Amino acid sequence: KRTGMDVVPEIMIPLVGEVKEFLYVKNIVVSTAEKIIAESGVDVRYSVGTMLEIPRAALTSDQIAKEADFYSFGTNDLTQMVFGFSRDDASKFLGDYYSKNIYESDPFARIDRVGVGSIMKTAVKLGRESNPKLKLGICGEHGGDPSSVEFCHLIGLDYVSCSPFRVPIARLAAAQAQINFPRD
């Protein structure tokens, strides 16, 4: 503020599975923020959203979207919960799954469009129906995978985030997705 920059902090509440849970934590965030804003005398705009990592949250997205300003899909945890296996343990057996043609790629490296992707699409649809201004994105290593970035573009996400070394790949993939599948 003092330098003339308009910064809008985004406060993200993780691992929400129920709208009442989100509201409980959001109320603490808002009351704390408002107290600090009043004490400092500096007006700060901020938004409060959630990580969408739990399948139940995705399936009740319409309820959560009425209270949240944004969602960021935590695709690593969401993948883990949808598949029912740990990312840490998956390397012990995924090789066998590839050799037997059970899986074509690592679901922790590329978004599984059929399972995890279907849940994400449902969450986007329900969330945007309840809150058309809902800002949607992902965070995690999927944000640096070209196929996953394209999928995120196709389902209408607003952004992807990833590790710094993957940013050039993510930017190129996002540009290619927009060229190949233009959105307004």
Q: What is the pLDDT of residues 136-165, one digit of tens each?
A: 999 988 999 999 999 999 999 999 999 999
Contact of 142 with 111, CB cutoff 8 Å: yes
User: For position 129, what pLDDT does the model report?
Assistant: 98
The domains of the chain are located at 46-165
Say whether pLDDT at 77 is over 90. Answer: yes
- Provide the CA 56 distance to its chain's centre, in angstroms: 14
pLDDT of res. 184: 76
> How does strand 47-52 pair with strand 135-139?
unpaired
CATH domain 46-165 topology: TIM Barrel (3.20.20)
**Position 63 pLDDT exceeds 90:** yes
User: What is the Cα–Cα distance from 98 to 42, expressed in whole angstroms?
Assistant: 56
Of the two residues 95 and 127, the one the predictor is more confident about is: 127
Beta strands in 15-170 (DSSP E): 47-52, 70-74, 135-139, 159-160
pLDDT tens-digit map of 3-54: 778 889 999 999 999 999 999 999 999 999 999 999 998 888 999 999 999 9
* Tens digits of residue pLDDT in 157-170: 999 999 999 999 99
Mean pLDDT of the chain: 95
pLDDT of the residue at 175: 97
Side-chain half-sphere CA neighbours of 65 within 13 A: 20
* pLDDT the model gives residue 26: 98
- The confidence band for 1, taking pLDDT boundaries of 50, 70 and 90, is low
Q: Residue 10: which residues within 8 A CB-CB, separation 6 or more? A: 46, 47, 48, 49, 69, 70
| pLDDT at residue 159 in the model | 96
Is residue 176 within 8 A of residue 111, CB to CB? The reply is: no
* Buried b / exposed e along 134-173 (16+ C-beta atoms within 10 A): bbbbbbbbbbbbeebbbbbbebebeebebeeebeeebeeb
Q: Which helix (H) or strand (E) holds 11?
A: strand 10-13
User: How far is residue 15's CA from residue 8's CA, in Å, rounded to a whole number?
Assistant: 22
